[in-house]
């Protein structure tokens, strides 16, 4: 808990020189800088957070708002929190958590008390409360996810559409003519934003190819959904669904004696879980949290510097990983 004046005395310089040496906002001679750094080291100096906020007009804190919804997938969510935390620390920022009732109300509070320099919005619902709040708040706010009414907002999200297109292209290139998608359980298409985006991208593509629309969400079991796909004569399947469904599908195919990729080709799209954990290695275009979090932080930092950055949606590029679940030869 040493103060800056103690460091200054120990280094034999003025307070302001210490401040500038540490912030790097003014050139300081090498010798002086060295003495200051030594003093900082010896005294274990850490700038007082409150004083720095008050004088510097920067808190070095981002708020992370995340309502813990009933349908939130905990492991995925944790991965995003971790990703945000890592991204923030990289630029010298800490994360302040706004959960539960405070997920919305807290945004107002931390913004107008100047507790945080920016806000990252997680676990975004289509009709999210926080959309209205974000518009009325005067500090940089970035959504990770895309709410329905996103005009004027800054959003970052995985490019689900692009990922589906990419998977589709791969299957087409492998010679598949009947391609299906096994989707999430029905209700996910109402409470979340990305399942319908993936589905629509897929259907749109089928329509463009004038092919039958073979999209099957999970109604009862993944097994039944798989049945529906197979009886429609599908040879290439895009899995845009839960971890459990992934497991069921690979297992069921094995039990039926259907080989991957010889009989059926599979590509997983948008998975947040570890696709390597199944018996069958799967080609995948996973949803990795870190790039989205990095981009969100990057945008806030730009806003903090420039004060000029157009609202809009920033999509994170899908990345394809091959593991041999797509046939390279032409399928019958």
Partner DNA sequence: TTGTAGGCGTTATCAA
Partner DNA sequence: TTGATAACGCCTACAA
Q: Does 51 bind DNA (CB under 7 A)?
A: yes
Q: Are the CB atoms for 301 and 91 separated by under 8 Å?
A: yes
210 binds, among DNA, a copy of itself, none (CB under 5 to 8 A by kind): none
Query: Is 281 in a helix, a strand, or coil?
Result: coil
Piece in contact with DNA (CB under 7 A), picked from 3-11, 139-147, 240-248, 323-331:
3-11
Whose tokens are 């500090």? That residue is: 139
d(CA 332, CA 177): 9
Query: How many residues belong to the chain?
Result: 332
> Do 103 and 119 contact (CB within 8 A), yes or no?
no
Match 């990345």 to its residue by tokens: 319
132 near a copy of itself (CB under 8 A): no
DSSP track, 109-149:
HHHHTT--SEEEE-S--TT-HHHHHHHH--S-EEEES--S-
Find out whether 36 and 24 touch, Cβ atoms under 8 Å: no
Per CB under 7 A, the list member of 9, 37, 43, 52 interacting with DNA is 52
Q: Smallest distance from the beta carbon of 265 to a copy of itself, in angstroms?
A: 31
According to CB under 7 A, which one of 10, 47, 98, 222 is a site residue for DNA? 47
| Helical segments of 116-237, H only | 129-136, 160-173, 188-191, 194-208, 222-231
Of 10, 39, 40, 45, which lies in the binding site for DNA, with binding defined by CB under 7 A?
Answer: 45
Q: What is the SS3 assignment for 182?
A: strand
Cβ distance to a copy of itself smaller for residue 62 or 194: 62
Look at residue 74 and give the partner it binds from a copy of itself, DNA, none, a contact being a CB closer than 5 to 8 Å depending on partner kind: a copy of itself
| Least Å from the CB of residue 23 to DNA | 5
- Radius of gyration (C-alpha) of the chain in whole angstroms: 25
Q: What is the distance between the alpha carbons of residues 121 and 297, in angstroms, rounded to a whole number?
A: 11
Pick between residue 31 and residue 44 the one whose CB is nearest to a copy of itself: 44
- Please say which residue, 16 or 41, places its beta carbon nearer to DNA: 16
Place of tokens 């620390």: 89
Shortest distance (Å) from residue 28 CB to DNA = 4
14-33 footprint of DNA as x/- string (CB under 7 A): xxxx-xx-xx-xxxxx-xxx
Count Cα atoms within 13 angstroms, Cβ side, for 250: 21
Site string for DNA, 119-148 (x = CB under 7 A): ------------------------------
**Contact by Cβ (8 Å): 58, 94:** no
Going residue by residue from 62 to 101, which x/- string records binding to a copy of itself, judged by CB under 8 A? Answer: --x---x---x-xx-xx--xx--xx--x----xxxxxxxx
- Biggest CA-to-CA distance, the chain: 83
**Contact partner at residue 28 from a copy of itself, DNA, none, CB < 5 to 8 Å by partner kind:** DNA
State which residue, 114 or 126, has the beta carbon closest to a copy of itself.
114
Given the rule CB under 7 A, which residues bind DNA?
A: 3-5, 12-17, 19-20, 22-23, 25-29, 31-33, 45, 47-48, 50-52, 54-57
Given the rule CB under 8 A, which residues bind a copy of itself?
A: 1, 44, 46-54, 59, 61, 64, 68, 72, 74-75, 77-78, 81-82, 85-86, 89, 94-102, 106, 109-110, 112-115, 138
């Amino acid at each position: 808990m040493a103060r800056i004046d103690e460091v200054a005395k120990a280094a034999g310089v003025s307070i302001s020189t210490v401040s500038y040496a540490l912030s790097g906002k003014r050139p300081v001679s090498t010798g002086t800088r060295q003495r200051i750094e030594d003093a900082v080291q010896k005294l274990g100096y850490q700038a007082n957070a409150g004083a720095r906020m008050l004088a510097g007009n920067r808190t070095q804190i981002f708020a992370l708002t995340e309502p813990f919804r009933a349908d939130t997938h905990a492991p995925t969510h944790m991965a995003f929190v971790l990703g945000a935390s890592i991204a923030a620390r990289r630029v010298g920022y800490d994360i302040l958590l706004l959960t539960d009732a405070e997920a919305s109300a807290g945004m107002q509070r931390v913004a107008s008390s100047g507790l945080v320099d920016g806000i990252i919005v997680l676990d975004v619902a289509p009709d999210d409360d926080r959309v209205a709040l974000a518009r009325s708040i005067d500090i940089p706010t970035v959504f990770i996810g895309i709410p329905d009414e996103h005009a004027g907002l800054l959003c970052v999200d995985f490019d689900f559409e692009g990922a589906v297109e990419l998977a589709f292209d791969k299957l087409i290139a492998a010679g598949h003519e009947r391609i299906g998608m096994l989707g999430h359980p029905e209700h996910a298409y109402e409470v979340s934003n990305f399942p319908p985006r993936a589905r629509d991208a897929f259907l749109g593509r089928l329509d463009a190819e004038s092919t039958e629309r073979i999209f099957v969400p999970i109604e009862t079991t993944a097994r039944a959904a798989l049945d529906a796909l197979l009886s429609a004569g599908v040879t290439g399947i895009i899995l845009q669904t839960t971890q459990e469904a992934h497991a069921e599908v690979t297992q069921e195919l094995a039990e039926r004696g259907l080989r991957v990729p010889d009989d059926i080709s599979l590509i997983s799209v948008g998975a947040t879980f570890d696709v390597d954990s199944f018996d069958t290695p799967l080609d995948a275009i996973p949803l990795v949290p870190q790039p989205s979090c990095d981009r969100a932080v990057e945008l806030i930092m730009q806003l903090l510097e420039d004060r000029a950055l157009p609202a809009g949606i920033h999509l994170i590029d899908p990345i394809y990983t091959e593991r041999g679940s797509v046939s390279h030869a032409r399928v019958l």
